[in-house]
Structure 1
Amino acid sequence: MPQPKKGPRLASSPAHERLMLANMATSLFAHGRITTTLPKAKRLRPLAERLITFAKHGDLSSRRRVMRVIRDKSIVHKLFTEIAEQMEQREGGYTRITHIAPRKGDNAPQAIIELVTEPLSAKKAAVREAEAATKQAAKEEDTEMAAATEAAITEGMAEDATKQAVEANESGENVAAADQAAVDLQKEAKKDEAVEAQAEEDADVAEEAAEAAEAAEDSSK
């Protein structure tokens, strides 16, 4: 019989262990909590939280990954619709393990593993919203800076093309080509200016959202 490489094995073989953990995860999602031995609860926890993370993604690929473990389609549907919605505001810690009295007979340590379905407090929810608004504002600011840089480069190129057109007019060489290049680059400069203005407007909106989230956080304290 092959020896396990990472800790004690919970069943007679790796395949049996995977099947046992899958059945325990199915029962956990179906009933919200199960009672088992402490080692099994600790082994089940990372598997259950990984499946919940897939459910929060909600796409077809994630659903197929979950169905490799959970064979009951009704439980998978519940996981993706009800449980994932309950865990939407959480970024981890979807399950809780509570120690209980040892099992009668062999005195094995027992525990209850359950889903953490309590909603976040108003303070924590406001903090999460403020963090999300801050990240969005930073992203919009980076976009605005990139647009401004590109507009400055294009504007400089347009000025160079205009100078070349003037020099060509004075020398009488390649006049039409130089004029067309100057017109094209000036059009590009106007487009970049419009993009920059839109980016500034988006950044202002994101900043107002962040200020509103901070105000909500202050009011919840």
Structure 2
Amino acid sequence: MKTILLTGFEPFGGECINPSWEIARALDGQLIGDARIVAKCLPCVFGGALTSMREALHQLKPCLVLALGQAGGRAELSLERVAVNIDDARISDNAGHKPIDEAVIEGAPVAYFSSLPIKAMAAGLREAGFPVGISQTAGTFVCNHVYFGLQHYLRDSPVRSGFMHIPLLPEQAAKFPGQASMALATMVDGVRVALNIALHSGADLRESGGTIC
């Protein structure tokens, strides 16, 4: 059976929960067509997260990879277009590391694009009633670090891969008046729809769209 690798992160920044991992583990073992979802939790640590991702790719040999990450302040499912080769942390990771102006991978290209059909995914999610957008930046913290490393590892592979940022959960956002959030069940359903489109779509749509988040 084919495997879809779906990753999320452990909590970070003083939080006790990370919705990216809650979504991934909720979908673990489910079938999308003839492929089974396998969820992996990555440490929110520069370097360590890439080691865990590389081990999962080697072990599972997936046909599709989607990495998820929490993005406070976003109100929609954000399909990331670009991963950049820079670590520039505003806060420390869970191991106390705070790299500034360092390459994710020395000698690698400046950036990679998602190999997922992100515009087809966005269109399908929108048609299904989910708040969704295409983001032109995944930031410079551990999410982008993992995204860049993932695209680098699979650069010569036919395996489609990419990254999606997701909003905070309501219980997280409640601590910050006016902060956007989304229910876990909604995000789980949305990611399932996104994976189905990614698995079964051919060429991506050609239409304008995307914002700098």
Structure whose alpha-carbon radius of gyration is higher: 1
- Tell me if both proteins adopt one fold, taking TM over 0.5 as the criterion: no
**Which structure features the higher share of helix residues?**
1
Which category describes the TM-score, using the shorter chain as reference length?
A: under 0.3
Q: TM-score, structure 2 length as denominator?
A: 0.22
